[in-house]
Amino acid sequence: MSLNNFNRNFFLGEDVAEMFPNTEAVNEALRFLMRVTQQNKSPKI
């Protein structure tokens, strides 16, 4: 997967940007959130 094909720009709120020093930190936090939400989905009956 090429970064050029999936490069998207987003603007963070000032308070959010203060918590993340760089792109990698933002991606790591979002990936963690994705894992947590996937793990917490209740199974469909």
C-beta separation of 12 from 20 below 8 A: yes
Q: Residue 4: what pLDDT?
A: 60
Q: Is the pTM of this model over 0.75?
A: no
What is the domain partition of the chain in residue ranges?
3-39
Burial track 6-39 (b if 16+ CB lie within 10 A, e otherwise)? eeeeeeeeeeeeeeeeeeeebeeeeeeeeeeeee
Convert the pLDDT of each residue in 1-36 to its tens digit: 555 667 888 999 999 999 999 999 999 999 999 999
Q: Residue 6: what pLDDT?
A: 76
C-beta separation of 26 from 20 below 8 A: yes
Extended strands (E) in the chain = none
Q: Residue 7: what pLDDT?
A: 82
Reported confidence tier of residue 41, pLDDT bands at 50, 70, 90 = confident
DSSP helix/strand/coil, 16: helix
